[in-house]
Amino acid sequence: RSQKPVYNFSFEGNPQASPWAAEALRHGFTASATLPIFRNGLLWAVMGAYLGDGDTIDAEIEKILNDLSQDIGFGLDRLDLTHRERDANAFNIALLNSLTVGVNVMRYPDRVIERINDRMLALAGVSSHEALVGLSSRAYFDDEAAFKRAGEFAQEVLTTGHGKSRDVPFVKTDGSVIFMDISGQRIDSVDGIARIVWTHIDVTERRHSEQIIRELSEARASLLANTTAGISLVRYPERIFTEVNQGFLKIMGYTHADEVLGQTTAQIYPSLGENHRIRSLAKQILQSGHGHIRDLCLVRHDGQAIYADVSGQSLRDATNPKHAVIVWTLVDVSERYRLTRALADQAQRDPLTGLPNRRALEDEFAKAIARAQRHQRMLAMVMLDLDDFKPINDTYGHIEGDRVLRVIAERLQAHLRRTDFVARLGGDEFVLLIEDANNWDEISTVLNKLSEAIQLPLPLEDGRHIQVSFSAGVATYPHIDTDNPDTLMRAADQALYENKAHKLDRLSFWTCYGQNTQQRQNWAQSLLYAGGVRVFYQPIMDNLSRRIVGIEALARLSAADGRILPPAEFLPQLTTQDLWALTQQLLTQALGDLKALEQIHAPLWLSFNLDPQNMSDTSIDWLRDTLAHTTLPAERITVEILESSNFSEQQAALSHLAELKELGVMLALDDVGSAYSSLLRLRDLPVDKIKLDQGFVRGLADNPEDIQFVKAMMDLATGLELDLVVEGIETDDILDAMTVLGVQTLQGYGIARPLPMPELIDFLQQPARAKRVHPTSLLGLYAKQIHIHALLKSSIKQNPGLINQKQFHQCLALQATRGTAADWVAINALEDQIFTALIEAYRAQQGHKASPAY
């Protein structure tokens, strides 16, 4: 219990040992000793020693026993220490080998590797410790210089106790080189030998990535320095420049980046409007990642305004996640902007006079009517037409005529008020917008001032002078309550027409619509301008497929009592200006209807009539604008020009036809055959189709020989590569005859009468007519005979118009009955007789004597 040695010097003389004395003596033991054995400082066991043969425990034996028990305890402690050291060593080895970094212990100064972990073996490219432990580290290095530098670094670690080095090259056993970050820690060993524990981290991939980043950075720097585009990095929300390239400095007129960096972007935006545009774009980019705008106005360092296309890409500021960065790229497009504006200005300018054109007039009218409505002021539209301008062109030539128009334009601009507007519609027609007029007197004052300026003598190139005047028609808002420029223009045009029509008895060179024009309107004009136009459509059939392929838009007027008035009743009541207004209303409605018909039927082409008198620069400009505002292809629109006796002889008309053709529309010459002059010049006209005068077709039942004319027109159209449309298909017999002849495109009551839109829709949904193979009428049989005869005569290269049908048919019948080849002689004889008779008739008509009989 006392954990101290207990000595029993004699069993006989020790009362405390009496309980064991008899047993001890029986075994011959006379004395004993009990000693504690300690292990790691704790009682671990008890050692007992027994003496016999009368021996006793003296001081020497006591010392021996004490030393023995202590030696046993010390031995046990040493054994435990060895076990612990072995476990600790195994743990350390496992710990070292589990590290993801390479570790070795190197002895100095001989630089021999004493210990190494598995990761270091892998980094070195070996599989066993024996391959490196006990060897010099020289094999790590590519040359002596590198080995020497490593030794110098080790000496620093031995001196200071620790150290680090980056990107140190190491040679693996296979000869490849890797790069490592190393750190060393000196070990102060009890044996006095200098050692360093080295830690190695493989940074080859990092070094490679850094190299790539470095190369990319160099490439980026080179790109930024050499690209012509301006690139800037702007931090948000402060909108501060953090980086700019040389392109940006050059475009914006700066010399050094320091002039920009740290400054806000507000210094390069000249107005609140542009500032708002870029703010909105930046907000979009920060939300979606990217964005761009065109033609942004910027101000250079020298104050000059430029225009740029700007795009942006959002980034995140790695140094401050709360901030965002936008990479802005700007390209100087000032030249393009100026060119685009110039082209846009040209598109709204009359090329001859430089005045605004019709398109510009429409834009300006929208602004002017808005101002008039907002300020409740009067707005006057004035249609101005030079009096007797055509004789100037005819007398002095078009060059002088153009010069006169330019001078007139200059005088109009010079003598109008600053708030007024002038445009040229074409020819000698001008339009004025007079704003802020309080009454008619103010309008009169402006017009009188213009009249005085225009009537000043005009010098010509040859020194002579001429004098011109003008007529004007005025329409005003709010007296005509509309925001439609066409409505006001039609009223002004009507007033102009009235003024020119009563030139001899007029009190003024201008007339205002509403003062006397409405009183002079007839009933047809009243219906026309009161919205009474109705459009009917007559289907046009492809006779080969028997399907409807087109429609002709025909105008009707709706009377107050609901009656639909045909053209024969109202056209004589309309003036040339009225006809143009009628055409405008008709085409506007027809284009909308044609678009709607696409929902129920294959695409149709649309034709409408344009009176030659209405062909002018103004009408062509209107057609151009109208076609530009529809999605329908221009080639599906056919403009039918009515053939007149002198139409094809007018050079201006031919020029207008060429302009119409440039719009992309198809041109058709209507009522062909009614004017011989156009028929002669048909080859020179830029038309795509001809429409045969229906008078030749409607009377075929009474005059079947007119089929010859139809056949001749077919041959003419084929030779000129024109499409032929035959109108006047009134009866089934006529339809049969045209089918036999092979006419492809037909129109007339025998197919369908002109229909209002609802009835047209019903008609188009009906099945196509059945095709015909053989003639079904006498007229059809007659046409068939003519067709066969034409083929026969073509085969013998004779003119079919010189053959008397009846006699020829009798001869053919005789030949068919007798069936002898000699009968062809009779046919030839008959032809000779016909030719002789024609020649004699011609000579008699010309006053010559008859030739002797053959």
Q: Write out the catalytic residue numbers.
A: 428
- Secondary structure class of 325 (helix, strand, coil): strand
- Cβ pair 129, 114 in contact under 8 A: no
Structure tokens at 155: 């000496």
Main-chain dihedrals φ then ψ at residue 475, nearest 5 degrees: -130, 140
Instruction: Work out whether strand 177-188 and strand 194-202 pair parallel, antiparallel, or are unpaired.
Output: antiparallel
Tokens at 229, concatenated: 């585009």
Strands (E), 461-582: 465-466, 470-477, 510-512, 533-542, 547-558, 564-565
| Contact yes or no for 595/631 (Cβ under 8 A) | yes
- What would you measure as the largest C-alpha separation in the chain, in angstroms? 204
* Tokens linked to 637: 């629109």
Please give the full DSSP string across 52-72, using - where no structure is assigned: ETT----HHHHHHHHHHHHHH
Distances (CA, A) of 242 to 276, 334, 341: 21, 26, 34
Pairing of strands 637-642, 666-672: parallel
CA 672, distance to chain mean position in Å, is 45
DSSP letter at 177?
E
- Token output for 339: 């060119």
Burial (Cβ within 10 Å: 0-12, 13-18, ≥19) of residue 107: middle
Enumerate the H helices of 455-553 as residue ranges: 485-501, 517-520, 523-529
Distances in whole angstroms, Cα of residue 282 to Cα of each of 271, 288, 327, 812: 17, 10, 10, 92
C-alpha distance from residue 545 to each of 90, 540, 636, 678, 717 (Å): 101, 12, 19, 31, 20
Contact, 604 vs 550, CB < 8 A? Answer: yes
Per residue, the 3-state secondary structure of 392-436, as one string, reads HHHHHCHHHHHHHHHHHHHHHHHHCCCCCEEEEEECCEEEEEEEE
Phi/psi for 451 (5° steps) reads -60, -45
- The DSSP-derived string for 180-224 is EEEEEEEEE-TT--EEEEEEEEE-HHHHHHHHHHHHHHHHHHHHH
Q: Which residues pair with 554 in a beta bridge?
A: 536
Q: Are 292 and 298 in contact (CB under 8 A)?
A: no
Contact 357/424 with Cβ under 8 angstroms?
Answer: yes
Question: Residue 692 carries which side chain, given as an amino acid letter?
Answer: L
User: What is the rounded CA–CA span in Å between residue 410 and residue 264?
Assistant: 48
Please tell me the number of Cα atoms within 13 Å of 658 on its side-chain side: 8
Judged by DSSP in three states, 157 sits in: helix
The strands making up 378-386's β-sheet, listed across from edge to edge, are 421-426, 429-437, 378-386, 470-477, 510-512
Q: How far apart are CA 302 and CA 514, in angstroms?
A: 58
**For residue 677, with 0-12 CB atoms within 10 Å meaning exposed, 13-18 middle and 19 or more buried, which class applies?**
middle
Phi, psi of 480 (to 5 degrees): -110, 105
Which helix (H) or strand (E) segment holds residue 448: the answer is helix 440-454
